[in-house]
Amino acid sequence: MTAHPSFLDIAPEVADALAAGRPVVALESTIITHGMPWPANLETARAVEAVVRAGGAVPATIAVIAGRIRVGLDDATLEALAQKSDVMKLSRADLPFAVAAGRDGATTVAATMICAAAAGIRVFATGGIGGVHRGVEETMDVSADLEELARTPVCVVCAGAKAILDLPRTLEALETRGVPVIGYRTDDLPAFWSRSSGLAAPLRLDDAAAIASLIAAKRDLSLDGGVLVANPVPEEAEIPRAEIDAHIATALAEARAERVSAKAVTPFLLGRLVALTHGRSLATNVALVKNNAALAAEIAGALAQR
Ligand code: PSU
Ligand code: MN
């Protein structure tokens, strides 16, 4: 664990649930500040928390506010965060900077995992993890999310890696790092906006209790790191691969032409896709995050039962 408990402000409702062994689901904040436009970002953040509650768990949205790591945000703080434009995007590398400098920052999958683990939260719902970027041979752009999954014991529920990435290499990197990648009720690795990437999911489980058993077994074996659950986007919200692939190619070409690099790459590509699909990719993103939150609540419930 990286974040020392003295840097954490755990919301009373979250602390109570953790103390009582009741289910809690961590939620990230980069998706709010850098992943979706206003006001869909705030509406989605609220809706996702409601889905977690409906699933019988307590939501804990994580962000850094004025240098304090907040685990569980009240609605006013959530709204203010969603409207601000100067919020840092925090991964493992940036988290201590934001804390030391008293800055506001939104946590990525990697940083949210660190803070969730420090708080004692074992399940986390997001949209899609970061991974190995296309063109990695030149850029060496590999998301810190992959290293975090290798070392921090949190179950991350996602809709696969984002299809803007090099998915075969992302899968290889996860395997090398010893991260179990589980297709939920599917043999195909989901590709965020689409239900299938055309790649096989390395493992498959069909219910939350079985996923909880795997998480428990991993801990009992003293194996470091997380578990990645890949939950396909609901059929009615899916964008067929042939359709999204063409837009991804366009967005990637634009990123190259504008020399977008480092932390700006993923937000740039997601933003361009919303424009290129006339908002359809955003609707899909909202639907898949809610779907992941529901499954995460179930998994957290199954873990709490054990
Ligand atoms: N899922 C979404 N939208 C997002 C993200 C995930 O639906 O914006 C964010 C997560 O915070 C993830 C980040 O960690 O994208 C990946 O950024 P990078 O590729 O720079 O590591
Ligand atoms: Mn990167």
pLDDT of residue 7: 86
State if residue 218 touches ligand 1 by the CB under 6 angstroms criterion: no
pLDDT tens-place string over residues 251-272: 999 999 999 999 999 999 999 9
| CA of 58 relative to ligand 2 center, distance in Å | 31
pLDDT of residue 64: 98
State if residue 44 touches ligand 1 by the CB under 6 angstroms criterion: no
Range of the domain at 30: 5-305
Name the residue of 126, 132, 148 to mutate for ligand 1: max ligand atoms within 8 A of Cβ.
126
**CA distance readout (Å), 67 to 101, 114, 295:** 6, 15, 31
Domain count, the chain: 1
State if residue 270 touches ligand 1 by the CB under 6 angstroms criterion: yes
Find the mean pLDDT for residues 192-202: 97
| CA of 105 relative to ligand 2 center, distance in Å | 17
State if residue 130 touches ligand 1 by the CB under 6 angstroms criterion: yes
pLDDT tens-place string over residues 99-158: 999 999 999 999 999 999 999 999 999 999 999 999 999 999 999 999 999 999 999 999
Kindly report the CATH number assigned to the domain that includes residue 135: 3.40.1790.10
Name the residue of 252, 263, 266, 286 to mutate for ligand 1: max ligand atoms within 8 A of Cβ.
266
| b/e 119-140 (16+ beta carbons within 10 angstroms → b) | bbbbbbbbbbbbbbbbebeeee
Q: Which long-range contacts (CB under 8 A, 24 or more apart) does 196-199 make?
A: 196/232, 196/241, 197/160, 197/163, 197/167, 197/241, 198/241, 199/167, 199/168, 199/171
State if residue 94 touches ligand 1 by the CB under 6 angstroms criterion: no
Which residues, at least 6 apart from 253, have a Cβ–Cβ distance to it below 8 Å? none
Give the active site residues.
Answer: 28, 162
pLDDT of residue 101: 97
pLDDT tens-place string over residues 47-73: 999 999 999 999 999 999 999 999 999
**H or E element: which one contains 56?**
none
State if residue 145 touches ligand 1 by the CB under 6 angstroms criterion: yes
At 31, list the tokens.
């998706």
| CA of 291 relative to ligand 2 center, distance in Å | 26
Q: What percent of the chain has pLDDT over 70?
A: 98
Confidence band of 1 (pLDDT split at 50, 70, 90): very low
| CA of 290 relative to ligand 1 center, distance in Å | 16
